C-alpha cells in the first residue's frame, strides 16, 4: 500500500478545495491518521473506497474520542541582560493558552480485496457544545451504522445523513453523553421517571391519615387542618 503522505497528496490533487492533514501518532505503533474537513469527508471516503489502488472496502472500527478544553503551559527561555553589566541571565517565561476542546470521530479502514490497511481517518467537530455535527459515513460503509449511533449516544456527535440516528445503548429518555470526560454520574443513577410516582401520589389521597407514611403531613390532613 502507498504511504499515507502519498494518499494525502493524491487526495489533495483530486479534491483541491479539501483540507487534509496528517496527524502523527507519536507512539510505538506509529499508525498515523488523516484529518479530514467535514465538508469533503464523504466525497473523500467514497474516493478511498472505490479507488482501484486502495479499495478500502472495509470500515473496521468507528469510534469517538473526547478532547476537552486544555490549558497548555508554554515555557520560553529568554536571556535578560543584566543592567549592572554582568552576564545575561536566562529566565523562563511561562505563558498559558487554552487549547479549545473538540469531539473526534476515528475510522479505521482496511481493504478486504487487497488485504492491506489500516488507513485511519479522523473528523473533528468545531467544539463540544453547539457545533457537534459531522457528516455520516454510513452511506459509504454500512459498517458505521451502529458504531456512529453509539458515538451519537455516548459522545453526542450528531451525524448528518445517518439513516437512523437514535440512541443505541442508553435508553431514549436519557439526556447526557456518558463517555464524555466531564460527565458526572448521578448518585441515583438507577432512578428513572416512571408513571408509578404520579400514581402513587394520587393514591395517597385515598388512604386514611393513620396509614400515611411518616414522612411529612399527608395530602388529606393538610387540607383539613390539624385534628381537634
Please report, as ranges, the residues that interact with another protein according to CB under 8 A: 25-31, 46, 57-61, 63, 65, 106, 108, 112, 115, 118, 120, 138-147, 154, 163, 167-171, 178-179
Give yes or no for a contact between 20 and 120, defined as CB atoms under 8 angstroms apart: no
Q: Minimum distance from CB of 135 to another protein (Å)?
A: 13
For another protein, the closer CB: 120 or 132: 120
For strands 158-160 and 133-135, give the pairing: parallel
Give yes or no for a contact between 102 and 125, defined as CB atoms under 8 angstroms apart: yes
Distance of alpha carbon 53 from alpha carbon 74, whole angstroms: 43
Distance of alpha carbon 213 from alpha carbon 219, whole angstroms: 11
Q: Minimum distance from CB of 136 to another protein (Å)?
A: 11
For another protein, the closer CB: 13 or 29: 29
For another protein, the closer CB: 37 or 176: 176
For another protein, the closer CB: 7 or 144: 144
Q: Minimum distance from CB of 35 to another protein (Å)?
A: 14
Q: Where are the beta strands (DSSP E) in the chain?
A: 20-23, 33-36, 58-67, 70-80, 89-99, 102-111, 116-124, 133-135, 158-160
Q: Minimum distance from CB of 118 to another protein (Å)?
A: 7
Amino acid at each position: 500500500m502507498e504511504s499515507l503522505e502519498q494518499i494525502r497528496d493524491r487526495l489533495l490533487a483530486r479534491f483541491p478545495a479539501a483540507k487534509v492533514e496528517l496527524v502523527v501518532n507519536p507512539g510505538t505503533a506509529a499508525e498515523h491518521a488523516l484529518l479530514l474537513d467535514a465538508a469533503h469527508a464523504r466525497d473523500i471516503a467514497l474516493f478511498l473506497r472505490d479507488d482501484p489502488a486502495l479499495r478500502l472496502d472495509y470500515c473496521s472500527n468507528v469510534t469517538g474520542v473526547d478532547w476537552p478544553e486544555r490549558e497548555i503551559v508554554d515555557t520560553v527561555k529568554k536571556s535578560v541582560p543584566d543592567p549592572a553589566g554582568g552576564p545575561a541571565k536566562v529566565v523562563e517565561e511561562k505563558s498559558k493558552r487554552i487549547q479549545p476542546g473538540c469531539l473526534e470521530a476515528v475510522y479505521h479502514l482496511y481493504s478486504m480485496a487487497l488485504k492491506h490497511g489500516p488507513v485511519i481517518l479522523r473528523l473533528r467537530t468545531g467544539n463540544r457544545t453547539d457545533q457537534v455535527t459531522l457528516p455520516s459515513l454510513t452511506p459509504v460503509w454500512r459498517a458505521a451504522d451502529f458504531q456512529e449511533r453509539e458515538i451519537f449516544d455516548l459522545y453526542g456527535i450528531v451525524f448528518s445523513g445517518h439513516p437512523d440516528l437514535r440512541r443505541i445503548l442508553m435508553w431514549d429518555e436519557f439526556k447526557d453523553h456518558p463517555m464524555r470526560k466531564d460527565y458526572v454520574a448521578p448518585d441515583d443513577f438507577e432512578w428513572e421517571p416512571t408513571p408509578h410516582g404520579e400514581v402513587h401520589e394520587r393514591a395517597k389521597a385515598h388512604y386514611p391519615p393513620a396509614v400515611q407514611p411518616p414522612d411529612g403531613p399527608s395530602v388529606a390532613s393538610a387540607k383539613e387542618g390539624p385534628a381537634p
